[in-house]
Amino acid sequence: MRAIFLREFFGYFRTPVAWVFLSVFLIASVGVPWFLGNFFESNDASLRIFFRFIPWIYLFLIPAVGMRLWSEEKKSGTLELLLTYPVSLGQAVLAKFLAGWLFIGLALLLTAGMPLTVAYLGDPDWGTVASGYLGAFLVAGAFLGICSACSSLTANSVISFVLGLMCCLLLVLLGWNVFGDLLLSLNFPVPLVDFLASFGVLPRFNPMVDGIVAFADLVYFVSISIFALCFNRVVLHR
Amino acid sequence: MSAPHSTARIEANGLSKSFGEIQAVRNVSFSVNPGEVVGFIGPNGAGKSTTLRMLTGFLRPSEGSASIAGIDVLKHPIQARLRFGYLPETGPLYGEMTVVEFLRFVAGARRIRSVELDGDLIRVRKVCHLEKVWHQTIETLSKGYRQRVGLAQAIIHDPDCLILDEPTDGLDPNQKQEVRDLVNEMAAEKAILLSTHILEELEAVCSRVILLHQGEILLDESLEAMRKRHPLFGSVKIRVAPADADRSLSVFGKLEPFVERIDRQGDHFLLRSRDKRNVSDAVLAVSKDAGLALLEVAPVIPRLEEVFQELTRPQSKFIEEQG
Contact assessment for residue B7 and residue B70, using Cβ atoms and an 8 Å cutoff: yes
Q: Are B58 and A83 a contacting pair at CB < 8 A?
A: yes
Q: What are the backbone dihedrals phi and psi of residue B92, each rounded to the nearest 5 degrees, phi first?
A: -65, 140
Query: At A156, phi and psi to the nearest 5?
Result: -105, 120
Q: pLDDT-derived band of residue B315, with 50, 70 and 90 as boundaries? A: low
Task: Kindly state the DSSP code that residue B191 receives in the 8-state scheme.
Answer: E
Which of A17, A74, A80 is the best residue to mutate to test the B interface, defined by the most B CB atoms within 10 Å of its own CB?
A80
The neighbour count for residue B95, using CB atoms within 10 Å, is 17
Tell me: the pLDDT tens digits for B281-305?
888 888 888 888 888 888 888 888 8
Per-residue confidence (pLDDT) for residue B318, from 0 to 100: 58
Contact residues on chain B for A76, CB-CB shorter than 8 A: 92-95
Per-residue pLDDT of chain A (238 residues; tens, 9 = 90+): 889 999 999 999 988 888 999 999 999 998 888 888 777 777 787 888 899 999 999 999 999 999 989 999 999 999 999 999 999 999 999 999 999 999 999 999 999 989 998 899 888 999 999 999 999 999 999 999 999 999 999 999 999 999 999 999 999 999 888 888 898 898 888 888 888 888 899 999 999 999 999 999 999 999 999 999 999 999 998 6
B14: left (phi over 0), alpha (psi -120 to 50) or beta: left
pLDDT on residue B319: 56
Q: Is B83 on the interface with A (CB under 8 A)?
A: no
Q: Are B106 and A78 within 8 A, CB to CB?
A: no
Nearest CB to B81: which of A15, A86, A238?
A: A86
Report pLDDT for B227. 85
Closest CA to B223 of B240, B242, B204: B204
| Distance (Å, whole) CA B81 – CA B57 | 8
Kindly indicate the confidence band of residue B316, based on its pLDDT and cuts at 50, 70 and 90.
low
In this prediction, residue B279 carries a pLDDT of: 83
Contacts of A149 (CB under 8 A, 6+ apart): A228, A229, A231, A232, A235
> Do B226 and B304 meet the contact criterion of CB atoms below 8 Å apart?
yes
Provide the shortest C-alpha distance from residue A156 to chain B (in Å): 17
Could you write out the DSSP letters of every residue in B1-36? -PPPGGG--EEEEEEEEEETTEEEEEEEEEEE-TT-
Cβ neighbour number for residue A27 with a 10 Å cutoff: 11
Residues in chain A: 238
| pLDDT band per the 50, 70, 90 thresholds, residue B178 | confident
Measured in angstroms, the CA of B86 and the nearest CA of chain A are apart by: 8
pLDDT given for residue B5 in this prediction: 43
Cβ–Cβ below 8 Å for A81 and B105: no
Does the pLDDT at position B102 exceed 50?
yes
Alpha carbon distance A77, B98 (integer Å) = 18
> Is the confidence at residue B4, as pLDDT, over 70?
no
Helix (H, G, I), strand (E, B) or coil at A13: helix
Amino acid at the residue B34: P
pLDDT of residue B286: 86
| Site from B52, B81, B151, B169 to mutate, A interface, most A CB atoms within 10 angstroms | B81
pLDDT at A34: 83
Q: What is the pLDDT of residue B2?
A: 43
Confidence of residue B262 (pLDDT cuts 50, 70, 90): confident
Cα separation, B307 vs B226, in Å, equals 7
- What are the residues facing B299 on neighbouring strands? B236
Do residues A161 and A56 touch, judged by C-beta distance below 8 A? no
pLDDT at B314 over 90: no
A84 contacts B92? CB cut-off 8 A = no
CB atoms under 10 Å from CB of A63, counted, come to 26
Q: What are phi and psi of B187, to 5 degrees?
A: -60, -30
Answer for the pair B250, B277: CB distance below 8 angstroms, yes or no. Answer: no
Upper half-sphere CA count for residue A128 (Cβ side, 13 Å): 19
The per-residue b/e assignment along B123-155, b for 16 or more CB within 10 angstroms, e otherwise, is ebbebbbbeebeeebbeebeebbbbbbbbbbbb
Supply the DSSP symbol for A34: I
Q: What is the pLDDT of residue A100?
A: 96
Which residues does chain B have within 8 Å of residue A90's beta carbon, measured at their own beta carbons? none
Do residues B108 and A3 lie in contact, with contact meaning Cβ atoms separated by under 8 Å? yes
Domains in chain B, please, with CATH?
5-228 (3.40.50.300), 236-299 (3.30.70)
Q: Inform me whether the pLDDT recorded for B21 exceeds 80.
A: yes
Q: Which H or E run contains B208?
A: strand B208-213
Task: Give the pLDDT of residue B1.
Answer: 40
Nearest by CB to B111, from A15, A77, A86: name it.
A86
Residue B100 contacts A, CB cutoff 8 Å: no
Asked if residues B77 and B86 have their Cβ atoms less than 8 Å apart, the reply is no
Could you read off the pLDDT of B208-235 as tens digits, one per residue? 999 999 999 998 998 888 888 888 888 8
Burial of A130 (0-12, 13-18, 19+ CB in 10 A): middle
Size of the A and B interface in Cβ pairs below 8 Å: 66
SS3 B154: helix
**Segment B88-112 mean pLDDT:** 93
CB atoms within 10 A of CB A85: 21
Q: How far is A88 from chain B (nearest CA, A)?
A: 7
Confidence of residue B317 (pLDDT cuts 50, 70, 90): low
Nearest to B231 by CA among B181, B267, B177, B276: B276
